[in-house]
Amino acid sequence: MHSKTPVPAKSGDGSQIGEPVKPLCWIEIPVSNIPQAAERLFRLFGWEIRPPSTTNFALLMTGNHEPIGVSLVLRESPSGANNEPMTTLVGANVGADTIESVYARSLKLGFMPVEAPRAIPEAGHGMRAVIRDPDGNLFGLWRD
């Protein structure tokens, strides 16, 4: 059961840090073409765009129509907005019940293979694969 009362966070040593645990708001994935990237992610994972979306931004939703905390942002230039470098790419891990079929579909959609599906014996469980989108972002596929 989830508590409605904010719970103060604890540091690694168990001491309280005084602030309630804060949820992740979103992760930005820099892409060169938002409509194309959104279409690829919709066709691979079923993620839909939450209106309003623009040519510079799109918030993605899961199949249950809740925001998932992922937004696509237009890569403005090599130097980015405010002359900040735009060299950071994203690595996101996505749950998949059938990693082999999601991996195969990703390659047909223009993703590039990084790591073929494999069991993770060092974790004691799970299967993983890694793909790279045309903008260079990494997506891990994970099944527990």
**Is there a domain that residue 12 lies in?**
no
Residue 96 lies in a domain: yes
The C-alpha atoms of residue 142 and residue 102 are separated, in whole angstroms, by 10
Examine residue 6 and state whether it is found in any structural domain, yes or no: no
CATH number at residue 135: 3.10.180.10
The predicted structure's pLDDT at residue 4: 57
- Domain span at 73: 24-143
Whether residue 11 is contained in a domain is answered as: no
Q: Does residue 17 form part of some domain?
A: no
Residue 16 lies in a domain: no
Q: What is the pLDDT of residue 74?
A: 76
- Chain centre distance of CA 127: 18
pLDDT in the model for residue 46: 87
pLDDT at 44: 94
102 inside domain: yes
Reading the chain (144 residues) residue by residue, the pLDDT tens digits are 445 555 666 666 666 666 666 666 677 888 888 889 989 999 999 888 877 777 777 888 866 656 566 778 777 655 444 444 455 677 888 888 899 999 999 999 999 999 999 998 887 888 999 999 998 899 999 998
Query: Look-up: residue for tokens 């209106």?
Result: 51
Bridge partners of residue 73, in order along the sequence: 30, 57
Integer Cα distance of 71 and 37 in angstroms? 11
Q: Is 115 part of any domain?
A: yes
What's the total number of domains in the chain? 1
pTM (global) more than 0.75: no
